[in-house]
Structure 1
Amino acid sequence: MHFTVISRILGILLMLFSLTLIPPVLVSLWFHDHNQVSFLIAFIITFAAGMVAWFPVHNVKQDLRTRDGFLVTALFWTVLGLFGSLPFMFSNGLNLSFTNAVFESLSGLTTTGATVITGLDTLPKSILYYRQQLQWLGGIGIIVIAVAILPMLGIGGMQLYRAETPGPVKDSKLTPRITETAKALFLIYLSLTVVCALSYWFAGMSLFDAICHAYATVAIGGFSTHDASMGFFQSETIHAICVFFMVVSGINFALHFYSWQDRRISNYFRDPEFQFYISAILVGCVLTIFLLYHYDVFNFTDSVGHGIFQLVSILTTTGFTTTDFSAWPSILPFMLLYFAFMGGCAGSTGGGIKVIRILLIFKQGIREIHRLIHPSAVIPIKVGSTSVSDRVVDAVWGFFSVYVFAYFMMFLVLVGTGLDVITAFFAVGACINNLGPGLGEVATHYGDMNETAKWVLCFAMLLGRLEVFTLLVLFSPMFWRR
């Protein structure tokens, strides 16, 4: 383990992250909310900590090994989550404890969207902006690590995705160099954010709300500047724009890259994961609309509007709301949570198990049924026209098993802390899928939960965002042996 290399990288990350505390200072000065000192203190502490970690080892030129990469990847969100909590602790009027501040910070960076803060409409504008910015930074961090960094370690979204999927994203790299790959992804991410913000602004949002909600939409985060979330904006146009960008942001960003590079939209429709993703959205929307209308929750028009928005928001693990879906007939919230387990595509900002894994699990289930009928038959699993190796299918099943096992272990721990079953079930599901809103005590916020439960949910957020194995490998004794 090259701890000097790890210290150097984390030091650089912290110093870079400290610079992101400057925009909230400018927002505070612009809106005169007298909160700039909080951000300046956080900036000084974060930059100093980064300098202390970086300077003693800044001349070290050792290569980053696989085990070092695992640790750096896990520490990326952990360390930034801890330092990202400083503005929440120092801010005027928030009075958040260390636990609540870390929870809010990690929720933002992992794009979970679970919050412990209420009264958003009256908060200082700088704090509102900072929450949204955390999600935006977490979103681009997810994409770059999933597409550019994790393949170097032999794990993660894109390497697994390339092994599992044929089509336009089969190539080993998007561009010849990782730095160029990261740059290309960032430009796509930034472009989507700018277009989304302008769309919101032209549709009637204030410029401040448009920028903030564009951050959260493209990052699939779900934080809002209002307690009523997207329901604050009584505009079908704004809701439609939000649905469009949530769907787009849930698509593999490598697929966006190739489609943009080739100037061909047909690349999307040839991709099996995209086909399954869109099909799931369409089926989910039809079911949700039907159930809302069947149970007389809304008239048909409102059933269509709220049903489509809420299904897309929860399936993509964004977490925006236009109405209190926790008050819907119980079949609907449970069904929506099941869709959230699927989440977005690999290489997107979405959470969950990922569409490609669900597709392979479904195909494996069909194959097992066929094997019962024809025990001696050799039946390959195909995604598109390409066969998927049994090794990949085994890896997907292993991931799914550990994901579900971790879910139920954390669920039991939360019940043991005194939470009711519904709250515990939805809280863990919302956090491990990086979704945000749940049912029971967490239908609107997580502020009333006990501290033990909040730390368990912080772990759940990291576990879901790091796709389980990247984090759990650190708890293996073999990982630390020389």
Structure 2
Amino acid sequence: MNLPMVLRSLGILLICEALLMVPSLAVSIIYEGYDVFPFVYTIALLGATGSAGLSIKPKKKNIYPRDGFAIVAFGWILISFFGSLPFIFSGVIPSFVDAFFETSSGFTTTGASILTSVEGLPEGIMFWRSFTHWVGGMGVLVLTLAILPLVGANTVQIMKAESPGPNPGKLVPKVRQTAKILYIIYFVVTIVEIILLLFGGMSFLDACIHAFGTVGTGGFSNKNLSVGAYNSVYIEVVISVFMIICGANFTLYYQALKDGIKSIFKDEEFRLYIGVVTASILLITFNIHGTIYKSIWESLRHSSFQVASIITTTGYASTNFDLWPTFSKIILFMLMFIGGCAGSTAGAIKNIRILMLFKIMKRELLKIIHPRAVYVLKFGGKVVDDDTLSEVLVYFFMYMMIFAAAVLIISLEGKDFATTVSSIAATLGNIGPGFGMVGPIGNFSEMTNISKLVLSMCMIIGRIEIYPILLMLFPSFWKKVNI
């Protein structure tokens, strides 16, 4: 492992976080909040720590796969640690465990909260809380690659480690250029949503906060009742559309600019994603019509918003869906595992893996019927190699094993079944709200500190897709090898 390069990269990451905290400091100054100095202190600490890492001069500037995983694993833990300091210094969240939980939830775009009331928070803290969604949505390390290049380093290993899906790749030959393209698209989508929300009557600060939560598929709101506080069909439609947009693969939008809008619908994963969204909306609409809502349009309004919110792992709520019939809640629970598309800001297992699992299942059934036949599995017209298929199966197994282990740990608290199971599904899948005590009108404040730390790690593990954190646990990962 190239340890000096790992430390230097982490130093650059912390400097990047210090710069990203400046807009929140500006907001606190504009609103004359008591959170000005907490941001100043945190930025100073980040600058000093980051500069210490940046001062390291590695002899070799190459970043190898193990280095990339180490940078990502430690990087996400570090930014969550330092990102929690404004909450602690300002006294908004005096407990370190609670502050770490809130910040981890922000950066991982989970949206789970321990705050029982958010409407009294200072504006700078509120802005930072939601801005972490926007920063973490596309990937903190990807953003670092875009604005602070690691000169001479093989930075594709960082991008692969932060988003280790079954189809990692580059839009253009240079990784930094790829990161720039992704963030330009990301930035444009954010600006467009802010403008549309302003037309809906939101203040500029409210529009920014909800746009960060939507585009980053995070879900933090500055209203106790989330988006439901506005009771606006227009606002719900705008947010729903942008949640669906940001739950899809961002590289498709780059391809659409080059090859036309039809190229998006040629993507198998996108077609599955839209199909699941449509089917779920229709099923829930008919299930809640007549039982929860008298109007079919009211049923369609809330079902479409909640389906978009859950499958994209955003976590906004327009109503208390915990009161819906069991059939509708089961559909939402299943969507917590499916999630969005690879290359999106959404979490969970991802549609591309679900699609490949179905293809693998079909192939194995056909092998039973025709054992001598050779079946080739294709995705997007290209043959999928056995290594990729094996990775999909292993990832699914690891995801379910981590889910089961975390459920067992949280069950020691003695909470009800719905709360226990959905709390893990909601944090590991980066959704936010679950059912029961952690439903859309509840939060995670009543969990013990141990459970909050477990849930925080679930959020980080789910966001960086398991591998970086688990690899840290293997002694062989740390052994020196000749490279």
Compute the TM-score of the two structures, normalised by the length of structure 2. Answer: 0.93
CA contact (8 A) 2:406 2:424 kept: yes
**Which position in structure 1 is the counterpart of 2:287?**
291
Deviation at 1:147, TM superposition (A): 11
User: Could you tell me which amino acid in structure 1 is paired with residue 343 of structure 2?
Assistant: G
**Which position in structure 2 is the counterpart of 1:87?**
86
The count of corresponding residues between Structure 1 and Structure 2 is 470
| Distance in 2 of aligned mates of 1:253 and 1:68 | 26
**Which position in structure 1 is the counterpart of 2:37?**
37
Q: Which moves more between the two structures, 348-357 or 247-256? A: 247-256
Cα distance change of structure 1 residues 59 and 175 upon mapping to structure 2, 3 Å threshold:
same
Structure 2 residue matching 1:29: 3-state secondary structure: helix
Deviation at 1:117, TM superposition (A): 1.0
Cα distance change of structure 1 residues 206 and 357 upon mapping to structure 2, 3 Å threshold:
same
Deviation at 1:58, TM superposition (A): 3.9
Cα distance change of structure 1 residues 404 and 478 upon mapping to structure 2, 3 Å threshold:
same
- Aligned residue runs from structure 1 range 68-79, under 5 A: 68-79=67-78
1:343 corresponds, among 339, 349, 366, to 339
| Distance in 1 of aligned mates of 2:296 and 2:336 | 24
State the superposition RMSD in angstroms: 2.1
User: Could you tell me which amino acid in structure 2 is paired with residue 256 of structure 1?
Assistant: Y
Structure 1 residue matching 2:472: 3-state secondary structure: helix
Structure 1 residue matching 2:341: 3-state secondary structure: coil
| Distance in 1 of aligned mates of 2:210 and 2:186 | 14
Structure 2 residue matching 1:251: 3-state secondary structure: coil
Deviation at 1:157, TM superposition (A): 4.5
**Which position in structure 2 is the counterpart of 1:206?**
203
| Distance in 1 of aligned mates of 2:209 and 2:357 | 37
**Which position in structure 1 is the counterpart of 2:149?**
none
User: Could you tell me which amino acid in structure 2 is paired with residue 243 of structure 1?
Assistant: S
CA contact (8 A) 1:146 1:157 kept: no
Structure 2 residue matching 1:446: 3-state secondary structure: coil
User: Is 1:436 paired with 2:454?
Assistant: no
Deviation at 1:288, TM superposition (A): 1.2
**Which position in structure 2 is the counterpart of 1:8?**
8
User: Could you tell me which amino acid in structure 2 is paired with residue 117 of structure 1?
Assistant: L
CA contact (8 A) 1:25 1:39 kept: yes
User: Is 1:353 paired with 2:349?
Assistant: yes
| Distance in 1 of aligned mates of 2:387 and 2:7 | 35
Structure 2 residue matching 1:435: 3-state secondary structure: coil
**Which position in structure 1 is the counterpart of 2:118?**
120
CA contact (8 A) 2:285 2:299 kept: yes
- Aligned residue runs from structure 1 range 180-259, under 5 A: 180-259=177-256
- Aligned residue runs from structure 1 range 443-482, under 5 A: 443=439, 444-482=442-480
Structure 2 residue matching 1:475: 3-state secondary structure: coil
Deviations 1:240-285 (A, max 9, x none): 11111111111111111121233x1011011111111111111111
**Which position in structure 1 is the counterpart of 2:19?**
19
User: Could you tell me which amino acid in structure 2 is paired with residue 474 of structure 1?
Assistant: M
User: Could you tell me which amino acid in structure 1 is paired with residue 449 of structure 2?
Assistant: E
Compute the TM-score of the two structures, normalised by the length of structure 1. Answer: 0.93
User: Is 1:302 paired with 2:298?
Assistant: yes
**Which position in structure 1 is the counterpart of 2:130?**
132
Cα distance change of structure 1 residues 472 and 231 upon mapping to structure 2, 3 Å threshold:
same
Deviations 1:72-131 (A, max 9, x none): 011221110000000010114x24300000000110000010011121112111111111
**Which position in structure 2 is the counterpart of 1:160?**
166
Deviation at 1:420, TM superposition (A): 2.9
> Runs of 5+ in structure 1 lacking a partner?
163-171
Give % identity.
Answer: 35
CA contact (8 A) 2:72 2:141 kept: no
Cα distance change of structure 1 residues 146 and 157 upon mapping to structure 2, 3 Å threshold:
farther
Cα distance change of structure 1 residues 237 and 229 upon mapping to structure 2, 3 Å threshold:
same
Structure 1 residue matching 2:177: 3-state secondary structure: helix
| Distance in 1 of aligned mates of 2:292 and 2:16 | 52
Cα distance change of structure 1 residues 473 and 333 upon mapping to structure 2, 3 Å threshold:
same
Structure 2 residue matching 1:83: 3-state secondary structure: helix
Deviation at 1:151, TM superposition (A): 5.5
User: Could you tell me which amino acid in structure 2 is paired with residue 81 of structure 1?
Assistant: S
| Distance in 2 of aligned mates of 1:300 and 1:196 | 27
| Distance in 2 of aligned mates of 1:329 and 1:146 | 44
Cα distance change of structure 1 residues 211 and 46 upon mapping to structure 2, 3 Å threshold:
same
Q: Which moves more between the two structures, 46-55 or 12-21? A: 46-55
User: Could you tell me which amino acid in structure 2 is paired with residue 480 of structure 1?
Assistant: W
**Which position in structure 1 is the counterpart of 2:150?**
none
Structure 2 residue matching 1:122: 3-state secondary structure: coil
